[in-house]
Structure 1
């Protein structure tokens, strides 16, 4: 990628750094803070044999970036060479995320925005050896309450797709967080179905389609979570027991000893 225009903060992938961030930063934080992480999948999961991938997600909490690690490592089994489009202001403060493939976007600087979009297109056109690349994008650009509608999305993701002539797989991902009778909250992921944009569509038309799909995914996830349809999910990560669960376990053991 030497001939690609580089953003001020390009990805600087580092195997050891990425492992440390996953195990001791993202996964440990989720384990210690959440009761469970749940997954609901619609359609076949993205396959690197089918080409590059853009995962576009709603952005409702600080935890979203950590769930990105879980999606990449557990759900997609690390089969893509993953990257994350991240706000430059945040990346400047937490530059170590470049070790996991994060790169910066400064929306307040048009020239820098163009460099970042061109860099993203170049990333997705190329492969890492035989491995297709993926880019996680939060098109809302900022943290927004999870039930706020309509979803307001920046057009950058549609421009990337248009510049790729639609030659990229797209996957909506809805994220949600809820307390459900335990001390710690639950995190929910809804992924898929994978789709493609029509190469003949304008960026505006593509943006409308992405917005519609992501809104539908977020609404469907909300309905299943609020409706307590846990049979539609699979647990992909269990957190440590909360005080309530530890007490219940102790009480059961105590009752057994008194029989």
Structure 2
């Protein structure tokens, strides 16, 4: 596996580049429930776009301000190696030994008080793909680090009246291992998968019905960003 090579200097420089890039690419970023976890967390999300990882960097830079690391498929990290300097580390899902090495690396990060982001689907899939088909790595990490809360985040990309697309981001409430019904790791993963499918579908309905009331436009200019 390829470990992270995180650089605070590179992160600060990249943040200067990223926000204008997001403004050029999207008309709006709508966020609901976006707030900093009360400490290190395991964060998961659906994965349908190359932008997902960059939007996580934006959320952390603007709102969370945590020591974040993100699990990324090895082929993507080899193509975009600069992500390692932002805290990305690799996983090769075609190699069982590499999968275990990456999960143990993530476990070590969580036990050091760092926040880890992963995409339980493993790869990018079309936004409307159902079921989401989660791998069991999330439950592995929850079992190994039971005191670390799980924070679900959902992304929904939409084209509507404007030339550029918009993104709707929904941060859910923390989930503890004890909140998940007892069962095998596979059974508990399926419970979490179905829970997130339902939450993502509710977010889709909010987009279709244009329910702006619960969302903030996160691209509005503000001081001290």
When normalised by structure 1's length, the TM-score is 0.79
Higher mean alpha-carbon deviation, 99-108 vs 148-157, is at: 148-157
Please tell me whether residue 13 in structure 1 is matched to residue 6 in structure 2: yes
- Native 8 Å contact 2:44 2:152 kept in 1: yes
Please give the alpha-carbon distance, in whole angstroms, between the structure 2 residues aligned to 1:212 and 1:23: 38
Aligned match of 2:23 = 31
Deviation at 1:227, TM superposition (A): 0.6
Please give the alpha-carbon distance, in whole angstroms, between the structure 2 residues aligned to 1:28 and 1:10: 29
Please give the alpha-carbon distance, in whole angstroms, between the structure 1 residues aligned to 2:188 and 2:148: 13
Which of 72, 76, 98 pairs up with 1:86? 72
RMSD of aligned Cα (Å): 1.8
Please give the alpha-carbon distance, in whole angstroms, between the structure 1 residues aligned to 2:13 and 2:72: 19
Deviation at 1:213, TM superposition (A): 2.5
Aligned match of 1:219 = 201
Deviation at 1:16, TM superposition (A): 1.3
**1:1-259 mapped onto 2 (5 Å cutoff):** 8-24=1-17, 26-41=18-33, 45-48=36-39, 52-76=40-64, 78=65, 80-127=66-113, 133-164=114-145, 166-198=146-178, 201-238=183-220
Aligned match of 1:5 = none
The residue matched to 1:230 in structure 2 has which SS?
coil
| Runs of 4+ residues over 2 Å off in structure 1 | 20-23, 198-202
Please give the alpha-carbon distance, in whole angstroms, between the structure 2 residues aligned to 1:194 and 1:75: 16
* Rg larger for: 1
- Native 8 Å contact 2:134 2:190 kept in 1: no
- Native 8 Å contact 1:35 1:238 kept in 2: no
When normalised by structure 2's length, the TM-score is 0.91
Gaps of 5+ in 1: 1-7, 128-132, 240-259
Please give the alpha-carbon distance, in whole angstroms, between the structure 2 residues aligned to 1:134 and 1:179: 32
Deviation at 1:216, TM superposition (A): 2.0
Q: Deviations over 1:129-182 (max 9, x none)?
A: xxxx21111111111111221111111122122222x22100111101112211
Deviation at 1:122, TM superposition (A): 0.8
